[in-house]
Structure 1
Amino acid sequence: MYQNIGLVLCFVVFLCIFSVFSVTVSEHHHVHCTHEHPKADEVIRGVHIEPAHIVKKRSIDQPLRISIFYDHSVYRLEPEKFDMINNTILPEAVKFWEQALKVRKTGGPIKLNRKCPTRQVFVRDGRTHCIDQCNAETMCGEVKVPEEHLNLCYVCNSTGHNCRSLPRNVRIEEEVPTEIDGNSINEGTEVPQVADPEVDYSGVEDTDFVLYVSAVETERCRRGQTVAYASHCQQESALDRPVAGHANFCPGELSTNNRDLPSVLSTVKHEMLHALGFSVSLFAFYRDENGEPLTERRPDTGNPPMDEELQIHKWSDRVVKNITRKNWMIRGGYMERTFHMVVTPRVVQEVRDHFNCSELEGAELEDQGGDGTALTHWEKRIFENEAMTGTHTQNSVFSRITFALMEDTGWYRANYEHATPLDWGKGLGCKFSMVSCKQWLNSQSVTNGTTEKERKNPAPFCERIKGNPLRTECSPRRNAVVLCNLVRHDTILPRAYQHFDTLPNVAPGEEAHYGGSVSLADYCPYLQEFTWRHKSVLVRGSRCSYEENTPKSDVNFALENYGAHSKCFDHSDRVWEQKSCRQIREWQHWGSGCYKYKCESGRLHIVVGNYSYTCYHASQVLQIRIIKKGWLHKGGVVCPPCREVCKEEFASRNEYCKGGEEPLPPNLYRNDILTCSAVTLTSPAFLVTAILNLIFSLQK
C-alpha cells in the first residue's frame, strides 16, 4: 500500500513541478541608438581634394570605397570579439555600403585637415588656414589621426596675412592606427619616429571615405546597451561630402552569440550611415542633383547659418520642414501636433509610393529620445522596423526610403537592388500614414448592420493587452510568432500618447496607463517579436527562419518546427493538449506557431509533426492528433489563404493556387488514438483532490 502511495505522490510531485515550471516572455531589447551628432566646432570642414567646378562636372558613378583603420584598442579586445569585428561585422558592413552607394570619383588622395585651436579660420586657394598654429593632435572620435594622413599645417596671422605652410615637427606616436586591407592587417612600411619636416605625406589614396575604428569603453557606452556609435569628423571643400569618420565599439555590450550577429551587423551598418550622411548635423549641407546647396550659404563663411541652441548648422525647408496636424486624435478628443519631415524629392516620392498616399508631405523624423535620437532617425511609429529608426526592436531592414535620402544628399547614387522591402504600413494609405495610431485603430471598427461593431484586423497595430496566459499571433508576413506589446505603465502617459477610450477588463479612468512598450513609437501598441527566457537565461526567439528557435521536445506541445522554409500559422481557438496514459497537460500559452510548409499541386501544405496536412480553403482548421514519444498532441492549425503564402513561389514555376473551396476527402488526416493498457487516465484536478484526501486520512 505504501509503495502505491509513493508512486502516487511521485506523480503529484511531477504535476507540481510541471505546473510551476515557467518560461517568461520578453520583447527584444530596445537598444536605442546614441548617435550624438557632432557639434559645429567638432567637425573639420574644407578638406581640399579638387576644385568644386571640376567635381560638379563628374557623374556619380564611382562605387563607394571605404578605407578602415584600427586604433590599437581594437586589438585589445577578447579574441572572439576581435574575430567577429575583423572577420565578419566590419567586412560585411563595408561591403554592403560599397555595393549600395556610388559617389563622384575622388580625384586624388584624401589628406585630412589639422584641427585649429579656434573656430576662426581663413580660406586661401581652397585650403583652410589656422591662425598662427595648428593643434598638436587631430582627433577623429576616440582615434588620433595618423600624421601621414594629415595635410601640412597651413596658417595665417590674425589679420589673414602672411599665409604659409609650416614644416612638420610633430613626433609620431608608436601606436598609430593600422590600415585594414580586406580581412588582413596591412603593416605597410616602417614608420619613422620623427616626421621629416620636408616630407609631404601622400594621405590616404584610392578611397572616398576614411573610417577610424576604436573599441573603448567610453561614457557613452556606459549609458546602457550601446553596442557601437559613429559619426563623421571631416568634410571635403567642394561639395561638403563627409570624407572621414569614426566608429567606436563598446566592448562590454558586444555579443558573439550567433543569434545576436544580425542585430550587431545591422547596428554597425546603421552607425556607418550616420557617418556617411544620415545625420542632423549634415542636413544643412545637402545639395541638389547639380551640386548646388539646398540651404543658402552665408557669404562671409560659405557655410549655412548656425543654430546656436543646437550648435549645428541650420537647414532650409527644402530639406526638413515642419508639418502641423490640427486634428490629431487622442483619448477623449483631438490635439494639434507638429512634426519634422524630410521633404527632399526622392524621399517624398518613395514614402508616397510605400504608403500609397499621394498627399503625404514627406518622411517623418523622430521627435523623442533627446539629442542622440531625435531628428536624426526615422519616426518609429510610422517606420517601425526600418533600420534607421532610433531603436532596434525586430528584423531591421534598410528600405528604399533610406536609400532615397542618401541620394537626396547630392553626394550619392543608390543601388536599390540592395534595399530590403519594408512591410510596415505598406499600401495602407493616408488613413495610416497621416493619422494617429488611435485613429487607425478606431477606423478598423466597422458597423455590421446592427448596433454592434465588428473589428477588422488593426495590424500592424494591435489592442490585446499582454498578459498571462499569453496569446500569440503571427506577423503580417508570417515570418515570426509575435505578441501585442500593449502593457500597463506605472505612470499616466503624456496626453499625446494616450490611445484608448476603453479597454476590455480595464477600469474606467485607467486607460491612460496603457500603451505600447516602445516609447519611441509614441507608445502605440504593435505586434512584436519576442524571446523566451527561463530564469533570465535566453532560451529561444520567435523568428520562424531560425532553426535554433524550435522548442525542445519536452515542451514542444504544438509540434512546432522552425527553419529555412517555415512560416507562422495561427492556432484554432482550442487550447493545445498533451495526454499520456498517466497525465494530461493543457498549455495556456498558445495562439500561433511556426511550421514547415510546401506549395505543391496548387495547394498549401502545412507540415506538423512530420506529417503533411493539405489546406483546401482559407480558415480551414487542421485537426491535429499525433502521438510523439508517448504523448498524444491535440490541437488545431488554421489554414491561411493559399495566395498569402504560395503566390510568389507558384508564380516562379508558372503555377497558381487553386480557387474555390473543395470538400475534404474522408479520413484525410492522421488521427492517432492513445491506447493505455491497464492504466486509467485520471484528470489532474480529481487526482490531486483524491491524493489530498488520502494524505489527510493517513495523518489521522
Structure 2
Amino acid sequence: MKSFVIITLALYLSLSLALVHECDHKGDEEIDVYTPEDIHLLSEGTFTPAPIRFTFDDNEIQNLSDQNLKNLLLKSIKTAQLFYEDLIIVKKPHQSDIVITDKQCNYHDFSHYPQQSNSDFHVYIQIYQLSSNTIASAQACQLNEGLDFRPELAVINLNAQYIKSLEDNYYNFQMISKIVIHELFHAIANSPGLYSRYNNIQGYSNNALKFPNILKWVRDHYGCEDLSEFPLESNGGQGSKGSHWPRDFLNNDINTASFLLGNMVWSGINNALILDSGWYDIKDYENKNDPINWGLKRGCDFLITGKCNSQFPEFCTNQDQTDTFIYSGIGTCSSNKKDLDVFATCPYIFLYSNMECQNPSNNNNKYNAQLFQDFNVVFGSTSSAFQSNMQPKNTQDLSKETVLCYPNKCNEEKTKINISFDRYTLTCEQDGQVLYPPKESNFKGSLTCPIIKDFCQKQVQCEDFCSSNGYCIDGKCHCIEGVTGDKCECSENKDLNQPSCKRVQIQNCNIYDEKGNCIKCFSSYKLKDNQCFVLNVFKSKLTFSLLLIVIMLSLIF
C-alpha cells in the first residue's frame, strides 16, 4: 500500500501552482492633480459623521443570461458593501446629490449619467470577458472637490468569464468577495493617486508610506521602533507596484498584489491607512480586523529586503514542503520555482492547489480519493495541516513526517486543539504531544501536536465560509441583510432550529457537503443513496488486497 501513497504524492506534486488572482488596476491618471494649497479651500460646513453609504450601478450584471453567475456577482458586491459599511465612518458625508462631472473614466462614458442621491460613494460595475486570472480591478474616477477631495465615484471591473469557470461553492464565493473588497480598497483610499490628497499630504514618497497610523501599526506589529517608513510593493507591473503591501512583509494580507491559496486576511494595517486619509474613521478600530502573524514581533531585521533569513519560520528552504507557519496545507518552497510568485523576494511555502486544507473541493479531487476515503483526510473550512501518519491498519507504514489535513477547533482559551478523526476526537493538550488512534479503531500511526498557542492564534477562518451569505472577520461571520445564524445559514424569517436551517443528521455520516448531503461515512460504513450502511469487512479487506496486487504488478511491468 505504501507504493500507492507514493504514487499519490507524486501526482499532486505535479498539479497547478498558479496565483489565484493578480491585481491589474490602471492607476489614477484620470483624476486631476491638486496642489497642497488646494487642501485649504475645503468646505467648512457643519457635518455629522455617519457610516459610509454606497450606491451601485449593477445593470451589466442584471443583463447577464447566466442566472447563477448573476446571483454570485450580486451577492459578492452586496457582501463587500456590507463589509465597508460596517467598517467606515465618513467624516463629511454628502449632504446633497453626487453630481457626475468626470465624463470618461476607465473606458466608461458617464456623459449621460444621472446624479446620485443618498450616497457617499457611487460604483459603476463593468463586466468583461477575459481568459486571464485577473478576476477584478477598480479605479477611483472623481473626487468631491467641494468637501475634502475624498473619492466619490469609481468603476469596478469583473471578469465574468473567469468567475464562471470556478466551481460554485462557499470557498470560491468568499475568495471572490475578498477580491471585490481588495479592489474597492484601491478606489476608497489605497492608490498613489490618492495618497497625495490625504489630509496629511507629507506621508508618501519614493514608493513608501510615512503616515502616522501606518507607522504606529508597523512599529508595533514588527517590534521595530526605529522604522521611519514602510515600503510598498516594488515588483510587478503598473497595476501591482506602488499600491500593495510587499509579499515578503505581509504575505497573506488581502491587499498584497495577488491572492494566494489559503486564508487571506484583512489585517490592521489596512484600517491604519484608511484613518491616515483623514476622510474616514473606523468603527471599533482595535477589533475590526483579522490577526496576522507574518513578521509579528520579529524585529527590524525581518524588514531588511533580501535578507530572508531562514531563522524566521515564515521563510523556507528548498527541502520544505509543508506550510508549518499557517498550517494551511502542503506545497513547495517558492525558491524551487522562481516564476511562482514575482512579488516574493524571500522564499515561502506555495501551496499545491489540491493540498490546500481549507478548500472542500479537494475532497472530490481525483488525486485525493484514497486520502479522503481511506485515510480520513478531510478538506474544509475548519481543516488544517498536521504532522500525521495515521492510516488504515492493513496498509504499510507511512513516514512519520507525512502531513495530512483534519477538521479541528481550538477551545476559547487557545490551550487545546480538538481534532476530528473518523468518529473520534483527538485532543492536543501539550506542545509536541503524540496522539494515537483509539485501539478499537481500524487505524494505526500517530499525530504530533503543533505548538498549541501559535496554532490557535492563526486559525481565524469562519465555519462554512459564512455559507456565502456574509463576510468573516477574526473568526466571526457578519451576515448580509435577510440572513442570520452563526454561519449565516438561515433566512431571518425562519427558525434556526428548523430543518431548512439546521443540517439533517444522517446516522453514521462523517462528512457533509454544502447542501447537507453525506459524502463520507465513518469507517466500517459504506455510503449509498445518501445513507450509511455497515460495510462488509471481508469484502473491504479483499478489495485492499486486490488493489495492492494491481499496484505491485504495475510497478513490475
User: Shared fold by TM > 0.5?
Assistant: yes
Please say if residues 603 and 616 of structure 1, whose CA atoms lie closer than 8 Å, have aligned partners that are also in contact.
yes
| Letter matched to residue 465 of structure 1 | Q
1:688–1:627 CA distance, 2 compared to 1 (3 A)? farther
Structure 2 counterpart of 1:145: 110
| Letter matched to residue 248 of structure 1 | N
Among 423, 435, 453, the residue aligned to 1:610: 423
1:146–1:82 CA distance, 2 compared to 1 (3 A)? farther
Listed as ranges, the matches of 1:475-486 within 5 Å are 475-476=325-326, 478=327, 480-486=328-334
1:74–1:226 CA distance, 2 compared to 1 (3 A)? farther
Structure 2 counterpart of 1:248: 157
Deviation at 1:396, TM superposition (A): 1.8
Please say if residues 84 and 256 of structure 1, whose CA atoms lie closer than 8 Å, have aligned partners that are also in contact.
no
CA separation in 2, counterparts of 1:379 and 1:354?
Answer: 15
Q: Deviations over 1:53-110 (max 9, x none)?
A: 6734556722111111134465135221111112x11111111112211211212111
SS at match of 1:381: coil
Structure 2 counterpart of 1:666: none
Among 185, 208, 211, the residue aligned to 2:120: 208
Pair 1:84 & 2:72 matched:
yes
Pair 1:230 & 2:132 matched:
no
1:429–1:544 CA distance, 2 compared to 1 (3 A)? farther
Which piece of structure 1 moves more, 351-360 or 72-81? Answer: 72-81
Please say if residues 474 and 570 of structure 1, whose CA atoms lie closer than 8 Å, have aligned partners that are also in contact.
no
Please say if residues 382 and 408 of structure 2, whose CA atoms lie closer than 8 Å, have aligned partners that are also in contact.
yes
Please say if residues 45 and 237 of structure 1, whose CA atoms lie closer than 8 Å, have aligned partners that are also in contact.
no
1:570–1:639 CA distance, 2 compared to 1 (3 A)? same
Larger radius of gyration: 1
Among 184, 205, 215, the residue aligned to 1:321: 205
Deviation at 1:600, TM superposition (A): 10
CA separation in 2, counterparts of 1:647 and 1:256?
Answer: 30
Structure 2 counterpart of 1:521: 344
Query: What are structure 1's unaligned runs of at least 5 residues?
Result: 1-13, 116-137, 150-202, 289-293, 295-317, 323-339, 445-457, 490-514, 533-539, 650-671, 696-700
Deviation at 1:624, TM superposition (A): 3.7
Deviation at 1:146, TM superposition (A): 6.0
Among 85, 89, 95, the residue aligned to 1:107: 95
CA separation in 2, counterparts of 1:284 and 1:683?
Answer: 66
| Letter matched to residue 542 of structure 1 | C
Moved segments of 4+, more than 6 Å: 14-19, 51-54, 544-547, 625-628, 646-649, 675-685
Q: What is the TM-score when the length of structure 1 is the normalising length?
A: 0.58
What is the percent sequence identity of the aligned residues? 20
1:598–1:519 CA distance, 2 compared to 1 (3 A)? closer
| Letter matched to residue 409 of structure 1 | S
Q: Deviations over 1:241-263 (max 9, x none)?
A: 11111111122111362131111
Among 548, 554, 569, the residue aligned to 2:386: 569
1:486–1:69 CA distance, 2 compared to 1 (3 A)? closer
Deviation at 1:389, TM superposition (A): 1.1
| Letter matched to residue 149 of structure 2 | D
Pair 1:590 & 2:474 matched:
no
CA separation in 2, counterparts of 1:395 and 1:647?
Answer: 13
Structure 1 counterpart of 2:475: none
1:465–1:547 CA distance, 2 compared to 1 (3 A)? closer
Q: Deviations over 1:261-320 (max 9, x none)?
A: 1111111111111111211122221213xxxxx2xxxxxxxxxxxxxxxxxxxxxxx222
1:546–1:419 CA distance, 2 compared to 1 (3 A)? farther
1:341–1:60 CA distance, 2 compared to 1 (3 A)? farther
Structure 2 counterpart of 1:75: 63
Listed as ranges, the matches of 1:609-628 within 5 Å are 609-615=422-428, 617-624=430-437
Pair 1:530 & 2:352 matched:
yes
SS at match of 1:281: helix
Structure 1 counterpart of 2:277: 409
| Letter matched to residue 531 of structure 1 | S
RMSD: 4.1
CA separation in 2, counterparts of 1:521 and 1:16?
Answer: 35
Listed as ranges, the matches of 1:326-405 within 5 Å are 340-393=207-260, 394-405=262-273
Please say if residues 209 and 229 of structure 2, whose CA atoms lie closer than 8 Å, have aligned partners that are also in contact.
yes
SS at match of 2:353: strand
SS at match of 2:149: coil
CA separation in 1, counterparts of 2:109 and 2:141?
Answer: 12
SS at match of 2:125: strand
Structure 2 counterpart of 1:188: none
CA separation in 2, counterparts of 1:529 and 1:245?
Answer: 34
CA separation in 2, counterparts of 1:595 and 1:287?
Answer: 47
Deviation at 1:637, TM superposition (A): 0.3
Please say if residues 578 and 585 of structure 1, whose CA atoms lie closer than 8 Å, have aligned partners that are also in contact.
no
CA separation in 1, counterparts of 2:65 and 2:228?
Answer: 46
1:205–1:681 CA distance, 2 compared to 1 (3 A)? closer
Please say if residues 562 and 596 of structure 1, whose CA atoms lie closer than 8 Å, have aligned partners that are also in contact.
no
CA separation in 1, counterparts of 2:21 and 2:73?
Answer: 19
Deviation at 1:352, TM superposition (A): 0.8
SS at match of 1:570: strand
SS at match of 1:55: coil
Query: What are structure 2's unaligned runs of at least 5 residues?
Result: 460-523, 525-536
| Letter matched to residue 357 of structure 2 | S
CA separation in 1, counterparts of 2:429 and 2:97?
Answer: 65
Among 423, 429, 433, the residue aligned to 2:303: 433
Q: What is the TM-score when the length of structure 2 is the normalising length?
A: 0.71
Deviation at 1:141, TM superposition (A): 2.6
Deviation at 1:16, TM superposition (A): 8.8
SS at match of 1:431: helix
Q: Deviations over 1:139-187 (max 9, x none)?
A: 33343326352xxxxxxxxxxxxxxxxxxxxxxxxxxxxxxxxxxxxxx
CA separation in 2, counterparts of 1:565 and 1:475?
Answer: 16
Among 245, 264, 280, the residue aligned to 2:192: 280
Aligned residues: 460
Please say if residues 54 and 120 of structure 2, whose CA atoms lie closer than 8 Å, have aligned partners that are also in contact.
yes
Listed as ranges, the matches of 1:290-329 within 5 Å are 294=201, 318-322=202-206
Please say if residues 101 and 414 of structure 1, whose CA atoms lie closer than 8 Å, have aligned partners that are also in contact.
yes
Q: Deviations over 1:543-598 (max 9, x none)?
A: 28999589656655542345565443223xxx665453xx6475899324324356
CA separation in 1, counterparts of 2:361 and 2:275?
Answer: 34
Pair 1:266 & 2:175 matched:
no
